[in-house]
Amino acid sequence: MVLDDIFLDLSGFIAGVDVLLKVEGLNPAGSIKFKAAIGLIEDAENRGELHSGGRVIESSSGNLGIALSSVCAARGYRFVCVVDPNTSRHSVALMEAFGAQVVTVTERDANGGFLQSRIDYIRRRLRQEPDLVWPNQYANPANPQVHYERTAAAIVKQGLEVDYLYVGAGTTGTLMGCIAYFREHSPRTRIVAVDTAGSVTFGFPPGRRYIPGLGTSRTPEILDAGQVERTVLVPEDEAVRMCRRLARERGIAVGGSTGSVLAAIERHRGDIPSDACVVAISPDGGDRYLHTVYDDTWVCERYGPLTAAPDAAACGTIRQAGPALSALKG
Ligand SMILES: Cc1ncc(COP(=O)(O)O)c(C=O)c1O
């Protein structure tokens, strides 16, 4: 069962813009990737590549790996997930709980990320073990197709006149599926692609990134950049600040990529009419980020003190001040 019709009203959270958050974190396996996992596995089954007792290998920074672990367990397939050091301990433990074998690749690729290294590892394994099935979420049209059929269709079925849809880009499966569906069924909707600063997906220079979900160090094959009208790059510290503000002010814990998407809307708020219907897709909840996005020490070590004030206190001082980084509220 997929939960495709949960929307949270975030009116008043971003000044002047009423945002509806499409919540995907309550799906089985805890993210939007449950739908992608089902789409990819059914595609391999339908093409006759995957048979009873078969073996699947995939590269994932977390959520697809968890979702494929879950779907493979339920359908009797063995699963090898190739992750990197940015994948949280929690995600690895969850994959292993579903019976997956987890392999961590530690060598960075030419863009400073791990994606190409993970894919190179898979190619080596496929040469040695040809029975392994690689769904290849970055290149497989079944990935955008499932978001065309489910994610995008579920938004349009709400009967909303959506003016702006903000979608995070990782593999770009959600983005490309939404662009295709909205072009046919709601051409008035402006779709905004949200990526992380340091991601090369849309041709921007590579940079260090720590939060899984958005961004790539290698352009995904399923991306058709000519279809993407508007792109916004959000630095990770801005996404983190947004996640933590939403938790403190609304009691809603979301994952890092949801913080990026909301930060993108905040950046655009001067251009969005106040009566516009704005929908943002929230790929997962905050539980998987308690030791990263919501951990004061982790945040300070990577981004420094998260404050707008020029005379910001040192990380240690902020931590002493209490669990909340109070400056985040400013
Ligand atoms: C938390 C999170 N946000 C966003 C995305 C991006 O989704 P897509 O791969 O469809 O672009 C992912 C993909 O793994 C994700 O895990």
Answer whether residue 147 is part of any domain. yes
Answer with the one of 133, 149, 177 that is the final residue of a domain: 133
| DSSP code, position 169 | -
**Residues 183, 311 within the same domain:** no
Answer whether residue 1 is part of any domain. no
**Residues 81, 127 within the same domain:** yes
CA-proximal residue: ligand 1, atom 3 (nearest):
213
The model carries a pTM of: 0.91
Of the listed ranges 100-114, 144-158, 262-276, the least confidently predicted one is 100-114
Q: What is the pLDDT of residues 117-131, one digit of tens each?
A: 999 999 999 999 999
Mean pLDDT, rounded, for 201-229: 93
Residue 3 tokens, joined: 């939960």
Q: In a 10 Å sphere around its CB, with 0-12 CB exposed, 13-18 middle and 19+ buried, how is residue 327 labelled?
A: middle
Nearest atom, ligand 1, residue 174 CA: 10
Does the C-beta of 260 come closer than 6 Å to ligand 1?
no
**Residues 229, 190 within the same domain:** yes
**Residues 160, 267 within the same domain:** yes
User: For residue 232, is pLDDT > 90?
Assistant: yes
* Cα–Cα dist 138/161, whole Å: 31
* Cα–Cα dist 2/227, whole Å: 28
Mean pLDDT, rounded, for 139-168: 97
Percentage of the chain exceeding pLDDT 90: 82
pLDDT for res 136: 96
pLDDT for res 312: 39
Collect all residues with Cβ–Cβ distance below 8 Å to 123 and sequence separation of at least 6.
none
**Residues 184, 274 within the same domain:** yes
Does the C-beta of 258 come closer than 6 Å to ligand 1?
no
**Residues 49, 105 within the same domain:** yes
Answer whether residue 2 is part of any domain. no
pLDDT for res 310: 37
CA nearest to 36, candidates 134, 184, 143: 143
Mean pLDDT, rounded, for 51-72: 95
- The domain in which residue 256 lies consists of 7-27+141-286
* Mean predicted lDDT score pLDDT of the chain: 91
Answer whether residue 199 is part of any domain. yes
Of the listed ranges 44-58, 63-77, 189-203, 210-224, the least confidently predicted one is 210-224
Answer whether residue 99 is part of any domain. yes
Collect all residues with Cβ–Cβ distance below 8 Å to 49 and sequence separation of at least 6.
133
* Cα–Cα dist 38/225, whole Å: 25
Query: Do strands 55-59 and 78-83 pair parallel, antiparallel, or not at all (unpaired)?
Result: parallel
Answer with the one of 133, 163, 185 that is the final residue of a domain: 133
- Tally of structural domains, the chain: 3
Q: In a 10 Å sphere around its CB, with 0-12 CB exposed, 13-18 middle and 19+ buried, how is residue 276 labelled?
A: middle
User: For residue 324, is pLDDT > 70?
Assistant: no
Residue listed under structure tokens 């909205």: 182
**Residues 95, 145 within the same domain:** no
Of the listed ranges 33-37, 207-211, 308-312, the least confidently predicted one is 308-312
User: For residue 112, is pLDDT > 50?
Assistant: yes
Answer whether residue 330 is part of any domain. no
Sheet containing 190-196, strands listed edge to edge, beginning at the edge strand earlier in sequence:
7-9, 19-23, 278-282, 164-168, 190-196, 230-234
Answer whether residue 224 is part of any domain. yes
**Residues 21, 54 within the same domain:** no
**Residues 212, 281 within the same domain:** yes
- The CA-based angle 193-196-199, given to 5 degrees, is 100
- Can you give the CATH number for the domain in which 265 is found? 3.40.50.1100
Q: Residue 257 is which amino acid?
A: S
Give alpha helix (H) positions in 101-220. Answer: 115-128, 142-146, 153-157, 173-185
**Residues 151, 229 within the same domain:** yes
- Assess contact for 297 and 267: CB atoms under 8 A: no
Residue 314 tokens, joined: 């040192």
pLDDT for res 307: 64
Residue 110 tokens, joined: 């030419």
Reported as a pLDDT band with limits 50, 70 and 90, residue 218 is confident
pLDDT for res 315: 44
Answer with the one of 112, 133, 154 that is the final residue of a domain: 133
Answer whether residue 329 is part of any domain. no
Mean pLDDT, rounded, for 233-259: 97
Reported as a pLDDT band with limits 50, 70 and 90, residue 88 is confident
Name the residue of 23, 27, 63, 95 to mutate for ligand 1: max ligand atoms within 8 A of Cβ. Answer: 63
Does the C-beta of 201 come closer than 6 Å to ligand 1?
no
**Residues 120, 152 within the same domain:** no
Query: What are the residues facing 83 on neighbouring strands?
Result: 104
**Residues 39, 129 within the same domain:** yes
User: For residue 195, is pLDDT > 50?
Assistant: yes
pLDDT for res 114: 86
